[in-house]
Amino acid sequence: MDSIRVHKSMYELIRRTCTELPADILKAMNHAHHDELPGSIAQETLGIILESASLSHEKALPLCQDTGALLAIIQSRPGKGLFIVEEAIVEAVKGLTREGILRQNCVDPLTERNTGDNTGAHVPQVHFEPAGGPVRVSVMLKGGGSENMSTQYSLPSALIAAGRDLDGVRRCILDSVYQAQGQGCSPGILGVCIGGDRASGYLLAKRQLFRHLEDVNPVPVLASMEETILQEANGLGLGPMGLGGRTTLLGCKIGTAGRHPASYFVTVSYSCWATRRYCVELDGKGGIRKWI
Amino acid sequence: MDLKRITSPLSPDVTRELSIGDMVSLSGRIVTGRDQVHKYLASGGIPPIDLQGLVIYHCGPVVIEEDGQWRITAAGPTTSMREEPYEADIIERFRPGAIMGKGGMGEKTRAAFKAHGAIYLHAIGGAAQYLAGRITRVEAVYLQEFGQPESLWVLSVQDLPALVTMDSQGESLHRDIQERSLERLHALFERSFTKNQAT
C-alpha cells in the first residue's frame, strides 16, 4: 500500500463522516419531518435540523459541533498495511483538528488539560480485525452527549421487573429510551447487545450502529424485536430533542453474544440523530475503491 | 409559529413575561460556559465579565484562529443536565437572565429560575451549522486554560431560535414530558413481547 494514498483515503473518510449525514439517516429524518404534526414544535425542530444538515454538507463543515470520539475498525489480512492505515488515521485526525473540522475532544483526566489535537492515551481508538478479502475501514464519530446516555443492564433487574428472557430485554431497551428523554439528541438510533460481558457488550452494541437503517436482521426474532421497539418507543411521546412528538427513535439494531451462565447483560448504545459512520473498501494501493 | 424577539442582556421584565412553549428569537451578547466554567464559578472563581442579565449558553464551539481572528466553524448546545449541581448557585450569585442549552435542567435549577425570574432556553442539539450562522461575531474569549471547547466565549448573536422550556413561574416542559412518558412506559410494560411471537 502507498502511504500517501492511504493518508488521502483516511482523510476523506473522516472528513465525510464528520460533515455528511449518511443517506439512510437523512431519508429517515425526512420521513420523520413529514410524519410530525404540521406546525408542531417537533416538525419545526426537525425542519431546522434538516436545514442545518444540508448547510454542513454544502459548506463541508461539521454536522454537529461535538465531532465526537473516533472509533475505527480496520478489517484486513494481518500485515504491515495495517500499521500504515492506523498511522494515516491518526495523522488525518490531527490534520482535521487543525482545520477546525474536528473539535479538540481529548482531555487528559489527570491534568484536566485538553491535548489539543485529538490524540491521547488510547485515543483515537483503532481496532484491528483479521479478515479475508479487500481492506475495509469503518469509522464512527460518536458525540459525548449520546455516549453518556448509553447504558448496561444486568438481569434480573428488580428495578424494572426485568427477568432473564426476551421480555426482560425489551423492558431494558424501552427503559433506556425513557431514561435518555431528549438528552441523547433524539430521534435516536439504538445499538443493542444481548449477552457478552461488561466490555464486549458495549463494543458490540456500538458496532450495531454501523448497520444501515433499512438493514433487516437475519435472525427473525431479533428482526421482530427491532420493529417492536421502534414502534413502542415512538409511542412514548418524547419526540425530537425530547420536546414532545411522534419520532423518538429512527431505528433499533440488535445483536447477540454468548454469555457466561451467571451473567445476562443487555447493553444499549444510544446514538443521536447525527449518527456519523461510514465504511470504505480500499484498493491494493490504498485508494478508496468504494463506499459501503 | 409566533416568534418573540428578545435581546440579551435580558431584564427580569422580559423574562417574567415568557412562558413554556414560547418560541423566541434571541439577539445580543451571550457567553458560553460548560463543564469547566461551571465548576470554576461554583468553586469561588470570579467571572471574567459581569453575567447579570446575560444568557449563559451551554456550548462548546469549534473555533479556529485565522489571521488573528476567531472563526467559529460549528456551534450548538450541549447537554445542560451536567451543570445541574452548579447552576442554581450560579444563578443566585451572578443573576444571568437565561440559561440556554439542550435537554433541560432539574428541580434545583427550576427552583432557582422561579426565585430569580430567570428562564431556560432550549436550542436544537446538533444543528451546528444553522446555529453557528446566527453568531455574528466573537467579541472575546476568557479562561482559555480550559481548552478551546470549554473556554468562556463572548459572542454576538442575531435571531437565534430557541424554545422556552422552563419559565420563571416554575413550569417545566421537560418535567411534563417525563411524567407523561413514564405513564406510557408503564402501560407498555403491561404488554408481553414473547406472547406475541409465532412459535
pLDDT recorded at residue A137: 98
pLDDT of residue A148: 97
Cβ atoms of residues A54 and A96 within 8 Å: no
Q: Enter the pTM of the model.
A: 0.95
Query: Within an 8 Å CB–CB cutoff, is residue B22 touching chain A?
Result: no
Mutation for B interface: A115, A169, A241, A248, most B CBs within 10 A? A241
Topology given in CATH for the domain delimited by B3-172: fumarase (3.20.130)
Residue B117 in contact with residue B167, Cβ under 8 Å? Answer: no
Helices (H), ranges, chain A: 3-19, 23-35, 41-59, 81-98, 144-148, 166-180, 198-208, 220-234
Give the pairing of strands B98-101 and B55-57: parallel
| Chain A interface includes B12 (CB < 8 A) | no
Domain ranges of chain B: 3-172
Question: What mean pLDDT value characterizes chain B?
Answer: 95
Distance, in Å, from the CA atom of A233 to the CA atom of A217, rounded to the nearest integer, reads 18
Residues of B in contact with A61 (CB under 8 A): 73-74, 128-129, 132
* A178 → closest Cβ in B102, B133, B181: B181
- Phi/psi at B109 (nearest 5 deg)? -70, -35
Classify residue A224 by burial, with Cβ atoms within 10 Å: 0-12, 13-18, 19+: middle
Q: What is the pLDDT of residue A235?
A: 97
Determine the Cα angle at A189 with ends A185 and A192, to 5°.
125
Query: pLDDT tens across A140-158, in order?
Result: 999 999 999 999 999 999 9
Q: Which CATH class is domain A3-20+63-143+276-291?
A: alpha beta
Q: Vertex B135, ends B134 and B139: CA angle to 5°?
A: 160
Please choose, from the candidates A162, A143, A140, the residue with its C-alpha nearest in 3D space to the C-alpha of residue A152: A162
Does B163 contact A at CB distance below 8 Å? yes
Q: To the nearest 5 percent, what fractions of chain A are helix, strand and coil?
A: 40, 25, 40
Q: Is the pLDDT of residue B198 over 70?
A: no
pLDDT in tens, B82-120: 999 999 999 999 999 999 999 999 999 999 999 999 999
Tell me, yes or no, if A36 comes closer than 8 A to chain B by beta carbon.
Answer: no
If 0-12 CB within 10 Å is exposed, 13-18 middle and 19+ buried, where does residue A47 land? Answer: middle
pLDDT in tens, A32-46: 999 999 999 999 999
Whether the per-residue pLDDT at A128 is higher than 80: the answer is yes
pLDDT for residue B196 is more than 90: no
Compute the average pLDDT of residues A232-253: 98
The amino acid occupying position A95 is: G
Q: CB of A112 within 8 A of CB of A73?
A: no
Query: Sign (positive/negative) of CA torsion A43, A52, B99, B160?
Result: negative
Q: What is the per-residue pLDDT across B158-192, written as a single tens digit (0 to 9) for each?
A: 999 999 999 999 999 999 999 999 999 999 999 88
Mean pLDDT of A239-254: 98
Residue position matching grid coordinates 431519508 = A27
Helix (H) or strand (E) run with residue B158 in it: strand B152-166
**CA-CA distance, A182 to B24, in Å (whole number)?**
20
Check if B116 is active-site: no
